[in-house]
């Protein structure tokens, strides 16, 4: 795998898998309005995944290699994206989206001046959408953090998700080359520091306690090296089962040429 491919798989897989999870809330969200908002976000993320997978397709991959027939161990997303939701635990998608979208903005900003034009040219559209996602998560966080039960639920979600969120910044095999070739203009270590500087004070300002990054127990699965939690293997099985049952020659594209 080239450094460019590693970078693209990390981007695309994160977006695809988190969107796959978000759609589980459709029809089940607390109100009609929150249902619509989260559905919007899920669709944006699917759209972003498609956009990054497209860049890989321009380099010879086919959709079936990228999603439908790829071994689950070959996916490179952060474990934050793959975790199953507990029924009714609305605090989880809110906290997850805040942690993810804050990291996503930093990561995209470090791609604006990418040496790869196929990446640099696509970042602008994504950044504007990620801003909306973060605002959405923050407005929910600020409300939920005030209540009694809801505060506890947010704290519990944060405790559970934070160690997994650290895997967003887990380097892959080609991390050095990704930076030295200017594909991404900042290292993952620097991005993680910036992410701490934003998320920790913000969450603390809401009265939440943030786990100490250096001391928190990290899960064995780090995502970026293909190790994943059991939730991922269940999810992968559930979204590929119909594809295999149908046995079509190709996953269907609905976009016209050049669209």
Q: Where on the chain is the footprint of other proteins (CB under 8 A)?
A: 16, 20, 23, 26-36, 39-40, 42-43, 46-47, 49-50, 53, 63, 67-68, 87-88, 90, 143-144, 146-147, 149-150, 153, 238-239, 241-243, 245-248, 251-255
Phi and psi of 149, rounded to 5°? -60, -40
Distance of alpha carbon 61 from alpha carbon 54, whole angstroms: 9
Token duo for residue 76? 């490179």
State whether residue 37 is helix, strand or coil. Answer: helix
**Least distance (Å) between residue 136 CB and other proteins:** 14
Minimum CB distance to other proteins smaller for 23 or for 181: 23
Shortest Å distance, C-beta 12 to other proteins: 10
CA distance 91 to 93: 6
In degrees, rounded to 5, the angle at the alpha carbon of residue 222 between the alpha carbons of residues 221 and 227 is 55
Q: What angle do CA 47, 49, 52 make, to 5 degrees?
A: 110
Q: Mention every residue, 6+ apart, whose C-beta is less than 8 A from residue 91.
A: 144, 150, 153, 154, 156, 157
| Closest approach of other proteins to the CB of residue 80, in Å | 20
Minimum Å gap between C-beta 108 and other proteins is 21
Beta carbons within 10 angstroms of residue 60's beta carbon = 7
Q: Considering the complex, state which of residue 55 and residue 179 has its C-beta at the smaller distance from other proteins.
A: 55
Decide whether 30 or 124 has the Cβ nearer to other proteins: 30
To other proteins, the closest distance from the beta carbon of 135 in angstroms equals 17
Query: Given the complex with other proteins, which of 28 and 233 has the nearer CB atom?
Result: 28
């Amino acid at each position: 795998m080239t450094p460019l491919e590693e970078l693209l798989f990390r981007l695309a897989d994160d977006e695809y898998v988190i969107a796959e999870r978000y759609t589980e809330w459709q029809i089940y969200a607390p109100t009609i309005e929150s249902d619509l908002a989260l559905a919007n976000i899920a669709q944006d993320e699917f759209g972003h995944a498609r956009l990054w997978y497209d860049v890989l397709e321009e380099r010879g991959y086919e959709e079936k290699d990228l999603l439908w027939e790829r071994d689950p161990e070959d996916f490179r997303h952060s474990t934050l994206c793959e975790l199953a939701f507990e029924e009714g635990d609305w605090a989880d998608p809110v906290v997850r989206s805040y942690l993810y979208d804050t990291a996503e903005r930093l990561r995209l900003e470090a791609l604006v001046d990418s040496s790869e034009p196929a990446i640099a040219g696509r970042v602008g559209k994504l950044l504007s959408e990620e801003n909306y996602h973060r605002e959405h998560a923050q407005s929910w966080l600020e409300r939920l953090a005030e209540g009694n039960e809801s505060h506890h639920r947010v704290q519990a979600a944060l405790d559970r998700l934070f160690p997994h969120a650290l895997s967003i910044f887990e380097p892959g095999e080609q991390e050095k080359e990704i930076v030295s070739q200017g594909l991404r203009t900042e290292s993952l270590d620097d991005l993680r520091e910036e992410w701490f500087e934003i998320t920790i004070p913000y969450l603390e300002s809401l009265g939440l306690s943030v786990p100490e990054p250096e001391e928190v127990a990290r899960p064995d699965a780090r995502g970026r090296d293909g190790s994943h939690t059991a939730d991922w293997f269940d999810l992968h099985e559930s979204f590929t089962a119909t594809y295999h049952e149908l046995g079509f020659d190709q996953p269907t594209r609905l976009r016209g040429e050049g669209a």
